[in-house]
Amino acid sequence: MVYHGAHNPRQESVDYIREFAKKKHIPIEGSAMIIDDSLLVSFAKLMNKQFLFDANGYAINYNSGFENQKCGGNILSFIEGLDTVSYIARDSNWTLDKESKMWIEFGNNNPYDINKHINKEKYNYYVVCYWNTFSGNPNHRDAVKGLQKSIAQNPRVKIKMFLVNQDMRDDMDLKKVAEKVQRTKAAKVDVKEN
């Protein structure tokens, strides 16, 4: 995957991330950040990704109807055509609740309580959008704006968007993260040898 304008990630302060979001018009009220233990998963599998969940919190496989299932624009087209009832396959093992276990509240280290932010009577769907300061444009600002536009253009459904920052922060214990990587590598070697 190519990220235009990307630079090497570095540890950032929460204040820097907040100012970046303000400058790029990324709303952070009620948003989340990746926790230390999920940083590697975030970098490996969630970099600038967007996911869709139904009102019950089950992941929707919106990519299944597209020829290029890795295209980031698929979710925009899908949202624009979405209705209150969708028969697209759900993943009962992948839930919004499980996804949110990797998050903390933006600006502090309190666990993100997803139950404070969901409302089955008010919202038909939930979108999770991962973003960071180092990927460059169009990978953060345009993704958020595109989602906001697609959501606004579909009056048939009510969708809440969760923005999750995945920057390395200066309050993270990167030594702990590195030790986890070493343990994971050692466990893989141990499995291969047995």
Q: What is the pLDDT of residues 122-162, one digit of tens each?
A: 999 999 999 888 876 555 557 888 889 999 999 999 999 99
CA dist., res. 46 & res. 28, Å (int)? 18
**What residues form DSSP beta bridges with 59?**
53, 91
Among 131, 96, 129, 93, smallest CA distance to 112 is for: 96
Task: Identify whether 119 is part of a domain.
Answer: yes
Asked if residue 8 belongs to a domain, the reply is: no
SS3 46: coil
Question: Residue 107 is which amino acid?
Answer: G
What pLDDT, in 10s, does the model give residues 73-107?
A: 667 778 888 888 777 778 888 999 999 999 999 98
In a domain, 57, yes or no: yes
Residue 71 lies in a domain: yes
Write the CA distances from 134 to 7, 10, 33, 35, 146, integer angstroms.
Answer: 5, 8, 15, 18, 19
Q: Which domain holds residue 137?
A: 14-193
Which amino acid type is present at position 83?
D
Tally the domains of the chain: 1
Asked if the structure places residue 66 within a domain, the reply is yes
Return mean pLDDT, the chain: 80
The sign of the dihedral angle between the CA atoms of 73, 76, 80, 84 is positive
In a domain, 187, yes or no: yes
pTM: 0.81
CB 180 within 8 A of CB 37: yes
Positive or negative, the Cα torsion across 166, 169, 173, 175? positive
CA dist list (Å): 112 to 1, 56, 115:
29, 18, 9
Instruction: Tell me if 168 is assigned to some domain.
Output: yes
Q: Which residues contact 169 (CB under 8 A, 6 or more apart)?
A: 11, 12, 13, 14, 17, 33
Q: Is residue 5 part of a domain?
A: no
